[in-house]
Amino acid sequence: MGCCDAPGLMPIEEALSKMLSPISPITDTLTLPIQDAIGYVLAQDLRSPIHVPPFDNSAMDGYAVRVADFSQTDRFVIAGKSFAGAPFDQHWPANSTVRIMTGAQIPEGCDAVIMQENATVEGDQVRFNQPNLKPGMNIRPTGDDICQGDTVLAQGAKLTARDIPMIATLGIATVEVYRKPKVAFFSTGDELRPLGTELEAGQIYDSNRYGIKPLIDNFGCEAIDLGIIPDCPETLKATFEQAAQQADLVITSGGVSVGEADYTKDILEQLGQIGFWKLAIKPGKPFAFGSLNSAWFCGLPGNPVSAVLTMYVLVQPLIAKLAGHTQWQAPQSIPAITHSRFKKSPGRTDYQRGIYRIENGQFVVESTGNQSSGAFRSMSLANCFVVLERERGHVEAGETVQIQLFNPTLY
């Protein structure tokens, strides 16, 4: 994976395919209680050991009846009760009915439930006023939701808060998952200061670690924060070595643009195989990708918007592959009418930051204002990217643009 010397800028699709093709998913697994497994990727197909519901039960509070009895009588003796967890298990004579509650087992031989609002109790008897009474009415049959043996979740699914209660309905207490990818990250730059310190002339606060860490967490990885590393070859080299030992993926910000690249490049070339790319993406043009011993490496540009954007657009799919998350979906584009003008010159795919809303069933979008790659407020205000195609120039208000709503990793 030598340097990318190709003239011109590398299209995003090409960069993604070069990054993804060498990655093999992590195969180490662990067994976790289901309540601790949210955000992990399933290492097994999950099959149901039971039917859900496990027995025919009532969908209503009411009376369980046999539809055929209605040709004999319109008054029914109450033979007993079936409550949730306390089924009716006695003899049930013809022309009688069983008082039943929601979720209670349907008594043997009964084929419908009449809701209590359609019943009139007179002493120990009931009369019903139920139009269109049919067998099956208000009964939730065995296996209505899930049948024994059904695959409810496939290997490669990432477990969500919606999956866990479904797994619990099956009585499954633990699941086999892949271990999370370990991702070490650090910021590079002599100008960077940690929060809680005073800034001196020419210094700025290190904000990129605060943009990168939540994304590593939200992508479902274990984050290893190696801090701020000054532009000093010895320290950088030692940190790269330490990071590569600890992690499956090493992410840095800064030091990959022209001017600094040669310097970082020398160290990285000693330690691994890294390509320094100029991508046809704005913001985010300088980007490095390769391997450091057994770890993968992504070098993000230093500008804060560029760092988060390249994490989202390029590193997110890489992590999905590494994590074995085969069902990961790339953000989808939706057409929207823009209310703002967007400045753009042809040559790079531009991810401007926008605020969308829906007006009369139509997506409309506005710019968040200053679109400089250093102006992070444009990300903070946004709820979508306005993705302007590579060859497109300026966009005028009223034109149609493609927007990508942020996925939950940016919330």
Distance CA 4, CA 278 (A): 8
Is residue 192 part of the contact set for ligand AMP (CB under 6 A)?
yes
Among 156, 220, 255, 272, which residue sits at the site for ligand AMP (rule: CB under 6 A)? 255
Range list of β-strands (E), 313-398: 334-338, 349-359, 362-367, 384-388
Give the per-residue SS3 of 147-209: CCCCEEECCCCECCCCHHHHHHHCCCCEEEEECCCEEEEEEECCCEECCCCCCCCCCEECCHH
**Total number of residues that touch Mg ion (CB under 5 A):** 4
Among 284, 302, 317, 324, which residue sits at the site for ligand AMP (rule: CB under 6 A)? 302
Among 189, 272, 283, 286, which residue sits at the site for Mg ion (rule: CB under 5 A)? 189
CB of 254 to ligand AMP, least distance (A): 3
Strand partners, 358: 363
Is residue 254 part of the contact set for Mg ion (CB under 5 A)?
yes
**Total number of residues that touch ligand AMP (CB under 6 A):** 18
CA 36 from chain center: how many Å?
Answer: 16
CB of 255 to Mg ion, least distance (A): 5
Closer residue to Mg ion in complex, CB, 189/284 = 189
**Phi, psi of 217, deg, nearest 5:** -60, -50
Distance CA 4, CA 243 (A): 24
CA 385 from chain center: how many Å?
Answer: 17
Among 301, 317, 324, 354, which residue sits at the site for ligand AMP (rule: CB under 6 A)? 301
Closer residue to ligand AMP in complex, CB, 43/300 = 300
Is residue 286 part of the contact set for Mg ion (CB under 5 A)?
no
Is residue 304 part of the contact set for Mg ion (CB under 5 A)?
no
Q: What is the largest CA-CA distance in the chain?
A: 96
Is residue 107 part of the contact set for Mg ion (CB under 5 A)?
no
CB of 188 to Mg ion, least distance (A): 6
CB of 317 to ligand AMP, least distance (A): 22
Is residue 254 part of the contact set for ligand AMP (CB under 6 A)?
yes
Distance CA 52, CA 14 (A): 46
54 binds, among ligand AMP, Mg ion, none (CB under 5 to 8 A by kind): none
Is residue 225 part of the contact set for ligand AMP (CB under 6 A)?
no
Closer residue to Mg ion in complex, CB, 192/323 = 192
Among 225, 260, 269, 366, which residue sits at the site for ligand AMP (rule: CB under 6 A)? 260
**Phi, psi of 336, deg, nearest 5:** -145, 150
Closer residue to Mg ion in complex, CB, 286/302 = 302
Could you tell me the sign of the dihedral formed by the alpha carbons of 280, 320, 1, 262, in that order? Answer: positive
Binding site for Mg ion (CB under 5 A): 189, 254-255, 302
